[in-house]
Amino acid sequence: MRLIVHLIPKASSNKIEGWALNAQEQKVLRVKVTAVPEDGKANEALIKVLSKALHIPKSAISLVRGATSRVKELEIALTEEEIERNFI
């Protein structure tokens, strides 16, 4: 499934804040990471946080769009129901 994430780098802790609506009324997952947005470090931290929370390997998550943006689109090898169950 495709998942839209709003990433907040340089936070005080790695944390999944939960679901929110963006300007286009799409459901997005807000995630904070301590990593800086340089050389893909924040993207790597995002994948690590999500893989740990979803109990899946990092290889099951891939960045589709938004490598240099705070809004990212990820492909995750789970169903929408499985993802929502982990972040409610």
Q: Which residue has the higher pLDDT, 79 or 44?
A: 44
Task: Give the pLDDT confidence of 17-76 residue by residue, as tens digits.
Answer: 999 998 888 899 999 999 999 999 999 999 999 999 999 999 999 999 999 999 999 999
Residue 88: band (very low, low, confident or very high) from pLDDT cuts 50, 70, 90: low
Q: Which fold has domain 2-86?
A: Conserved Hypothetical Protein Mth637; Chain: A; (3.30.1200)
- At 31, give phi and psi (nearest 5°): -135, 135
Q: Please state the pTM of the whole predicted model.
A: 0.92
* CA quadruple 43, 87, 58, 73: dihedral sign: negative
